[in-house]
């Protein structure tokens, strides 16, 4: 069966520091991968999605970036965090080539102080 991992689970970082969140998927090949952010009291905002290694699409202009160095690994990064980057970050995967269900990881709670 497929599983999706995210780490760290929680993170507290100062403004201006760098960020690296990692997501890995097991049990499937060539998945679509997604990064979402959930700010307090708001719904989910799609940040990036990827349909293959090295293929990243950005949905929202911001100081975040994403990379997919391996088929089942998706990384969210920032060079300098802003206060507004605080939130709950969720990674998800789906079967490539379809618009079927997205399956979500457990999330990373990021607090920028």
Binding region for other proteins (CB under 8 A): 6, 32, 34, 42-44, 46, 49, 51, 59, 88, 90, 92, 94, 99-107, 109
Comparing CB distances to other proteins, the nearer of 73 and 109 is 109
Distance CA 79, CA 36 (A): 18
Q: 3-state secondary structure string, 40-61?
A: CCCCEEEEEEEEECCEEEECCC
Distance CA 28, CA 21 (A): 21
CB of 93 to other proteins, least distance (A): 11
CB of 32 to other proteins, least distance (A): 6
CB of 15 to other proteins, least distance (A): 23
CB of 106 to other proteins, least distance (A): 5
Comparing CB distances to other proteins, the nearer of 8 and 18 is 8
Backbone angles phi, psi at 43, to 5 degrees: -75, -165
Comparing CB distances to other proteins, the nearer of 51 and 53 is 51
Between the CA of residue 102 and those of 10, 13, 18, 32, 82, what are the distances in Å? Answer: 23, 29, 28, 9, 28
Comparing CB distances to other proteins, the nearer of 69 and 100 is 100
């Amino acid at each position: 069966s497929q599983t999706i991992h995210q780490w760290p689970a929680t993170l507290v970082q100062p403004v201006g520091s760098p960020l690296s969140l990692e997501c890995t998927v097991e049990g499937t090949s060539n998945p679509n991968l997604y990064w979402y952010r959930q700010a307090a009291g708001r719904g989910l905002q799609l940040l990036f999605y990827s349909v293959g290694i090295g293929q990243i699409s950005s949905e929202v202009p911001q100081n975040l970036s994403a990379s997919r160095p391996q088929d089942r690994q998706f990384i969210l990064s920032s060079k300098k965090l802003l206060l507004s980057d605080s939130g709950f970050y969720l990674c998800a995967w789906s079967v490539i080539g379809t618009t079927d269900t997205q399956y979500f990881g457990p999330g990373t709670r990021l607090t920028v102080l």
